[in-house]
Structure 1
Amino acid sequence: MSKAGEIRVLALGLIRDGERIFVSEGYDPAKQSTFYRALGGGVDFGETSLIALKREFQEEIQAELTNIRYLGCIENLFIFNGRQGHEIIQLYQCDFADSKFYQLESLFFSESPNHKHRALWINIERFKSGELTLVPTEFFNYL
């Protein structure tokens, strides 16, 4: 998590397979609500967002990416756990190099020792209908 008053730069990968996308599940304790977002993570000083994207997928779920294409930049202002957040998201469209990832129902990964996350395939219609929450909402422009 970023410190107060800090803007985070993220590289996220939008992976689509027909009518479903691969997302990570998050939970906001203050709102007591579950949300979903594309996988990826923070860009470190001195690395490009493309390199960060590849590194994050490798670190988090041991996945190689292929067919990587830059989609655009999203500026995301939000409240998480009662605190203001600000992110600049470099969004990429990509595919998994290994087809085994398309067969998975879901998988668990760790961002840090005490943070377990679930990544899973979800039908886009479930987000569009409002049944599930996809963040940031600008994401819909790329689906």
Structure 2
Amino acid sequence: MKYRAVALCIVRREDQYLLVEKYDEVLDVTYYRPVGGTIEYGEDSKSTVIREVREEISAEISEPILVSVIENIYPYGTSIGHDINFIYEAGFIDESFYTRKQIIGTEGEESFNAIWIDLATINKDDKRKLVPEGLMTILTEENDSKLSEIKHYRTR
């Protein structure tokens, strides 16, 4: 079993979200998830999301606001994965990040693409999936009070 606590950062540009795009050749599925990563022992989730965005895409973010917590239990190879995901929303301090088509990031030795994408594109077929499970519902709920508090990030 794989168990971890994770902090992820939602960043919006109008109706698009900045999401890491990864392809799973075995399942033939493209996965999308917000930038972020594992909470280190002794570190709080808010500090993690700030650190992970800085480390992975070399960006500074505004004060992150906790939107939700998602418990995600999922198949992981021949075992089970179990994540607790702290979902934050923030904006970029350097507004030039909003004009980039994609952002090349690094996670350890591996590089990845973070792209601006709307949720409708992800929902087009079964070959694309937003993770963690449940995030799509959070992002598409119009009446979520915490999301409406930070709506101004959408218009950058």
State the TM-score, normalizing by the size of structure 1: 0.88
Give, in angstroms, the shift of residue 127 of structure 1: 2.3
Of residues 104, 123, 126 in structure 1, which corresponds to 2:121?
126
What is the CA–CA distance in structure 2 between the aligned matches of 1:71 and 1:10, rounded to whole Å? Answer: 14
What is the CA–CA distance in structure 1 between the aligned matches of 2:61 and 2:28, rounded to whole Å? Answer: 33
What is the CA–CA distance in structure 2 between the aligned matches of 1:75 and 1:29, rounded to whole Å? Answer: 25
**Larger helix proportion of the pair:** 2
Give, in angstroms, the shift of residue 21 of structure 1: 0.3
Aligned to 1:49: 45
Mapping for residues 1-143 of structure 1, pairs under 5 Å: 5-113=1-109, 115-130=110-125, 132-143=128-139
What is the CA–CA distance in structure 2 between the aligned matches of 1:56 and 1:19, rounded to whole Å? Answer: 23
SS at match of 2:134: helix
What is the CA–CA distance in structure 2 between the aligned matches of 1:89 and 1:56, rounded to whole Å? Answer: 14
Structure 2 gaps, min length 5: 140-156
Give, in angstroms, the shift of residue 109 of structure 1: 1.6
What is the CA–CA distance in structure 2 between the aligned matches of 1:80 and 1:18, rounded to whole Å? Answer: 34
Q: 1:82 to 1:36 in 2, by over 3 A?
A: farther
Counterpart contact for 1:24–1:118, Cα < 8 Å: yes
Q: Which range moved further: 73-82 or 123-132? A: 123-132
Counterpart contact for 1:30–1:80, Cα < 8 Å: no
SS at match of 1:117: strand
Let me know the Cα RMSD of the aligned residues.
1.6
Runs of 4+ in 1 over 6 A off after TM superposition: none
**Larger strand proportion of the pair:** 1
What is the CA–CA distance in structure 2 between the aligned matches of 1:36 and 1:81, rounded to whole Å? Answer: 19
Give, in angstroms, the shift of residue 82 of structure 1: 4.9
What is the CA–CA distance in structure 2 between the aligned matches of 1:82 and 1:28, rounded to whole Å? Answer: 15
Structure 1 gaps, min length 5: none
Q: Deviations over 1:49-74 (max 9, x none)?
A: 00000000111111111142111110
Q: Percent identity?
A: 30
Q: Deviations over 1:14-52 (max 9, x none)?
A: 111211000001122321321111110000001100000
Q: Between Structure 1 and Structure 2, how many residues are aligned? A: 138
What is the CA–CA distance in structure 1 between the aligned matches of 2:80 and 2:92, rounded to whole Å? Answer: 33
